[in-house]
Amino acid sequence: MVCDRNETDLNINIPAVMLPQDAGASLESTIKNGVAVAVQLYSPDRPLVDTAEVFLWLMAVCTILCASYWSAWSAREASTEHEKLLKDAPEELLKMETSGSGVVDINTASALLFVVIASCFLILLYKRMSSWFVELLVILFCIGGVEGLQTCLVVLLSRWFKRAGESFIKVPFFGDVSYLTLAVSPFCIAFAVIWAVYRRISFAWIGQDILGIALIITVLQIVHVPNLKVGTVLLSCAFLYDHLLGFSFRWFHESVMIVVARVIKTGEDVPMLLKIPRMFDPWGGYSIIGFGDILLPGLLVAFSLRYDFLAKKKLRNGYFLWSMTAYGAGLLGTYLALTLMDGHGQPALLYIVPIMLGTLLMIGKRRGELKNLWTRGEPERACPHIQSTE
């Protein structure tokens, strides 16, 4: 059939059917084997809210909650030790400060650099997507997951096996390692290897989520935002990153973030996200959330709880409850937008960042503590050497 270029009175109807990837592969294999196939089509209704999204929301919130309390507890212990050394032995305090505490504070430059590197990496992943590259990401994820799971288990088990956690042995290339770490490490390595080998089976998402949550909690324990200024720069850059790459149709004719998350080009699965299978969706699939959507806001939530602990603020008078509520509301707004957009993927930071930063900046200004939050990042503390003359 030949159509004129300006022809408008055409009545061409070409049916199109969308199938899940596994159903399409099964259908193709059956046809290639010469088996007669009969297909009955129907269009079931999707539920407005799937239970998987509720559990994923709880998973993200609880991960930040646990990581924040661990970080704040460690900061309070360090502050108590700091004050004790300052009072009793100033020279020991100097040695401790020069030796380091194992915590990495982000500055403004590193926050900007992090977002630039993350953007370049995502575009590289989009452009050069291949099976070997995904395998490399799986290996890196397993290494990080083993370290995170080991750290979390050692801290948890040391409450019952304190002696094993405080007894050390020198190991080549690793230095002093506790007996508890040596006991836990084989289990963590075996867990990650088993997940990597069987990651394509239906329930492998459980192992991926366990490794991912342990990794996020450990990173939030090690990496700190020192003040609200750095947190604002980091989340503002992440907001732009999420907006530009989540809605990148103008430059790439598709969403880079969604393509990479779903790995459409290779059929593999990038592990840098938490996921739960949709339970009542007839189309199947997974509800997912990227590590960055938990990790980056979690840095600011953990900072707010550390500030509250050091300032001895109660829950209602502090900043943690507000920041945690803002994060939950922002993530809830993401799922609402996802429903309104008929399932089209939404950049979560696009909704989380404005609510979180707006809430903390507004409350800090209203309480007259914004300058201290913005620059110092910790409450004013009187020097114990200064005694009152009254």
Residues involved in catalysis: 242, 293
Residue position matching structure tokens 């201290």: 372
**Tell me, what amino acid is at 282?**
P
Q: How far apart are CA 379 and CA 345, in angstroms?
A: 40
Strand 223-224 and strand 273-277: pairing? unpaired
Q: Which helix (H) or strand (E) holds 365?
A: helix 349-367
Tokens of 186: 């084989």
Q: Are 251 and 20 in contact (CB under 8 A)?
A: no
Determine phi and psi for 252, rounding to 5 degrees.
-115, 0
DSSP line for 291-350:
THHHHHHHHHHHHHHHHHHHTT--TTTSSHHHHHHHHHHHHHHHHHHHHHTTT----THH
Q: Are 354 and 362 in contact (CB under 8 A)?
A: no
Cβ burial of 69 (10 Å; 0-12, 13-18, 19+) is middle
Task: Please state the separation of Cα 318 from the chain's center in Å.
Answer: 24
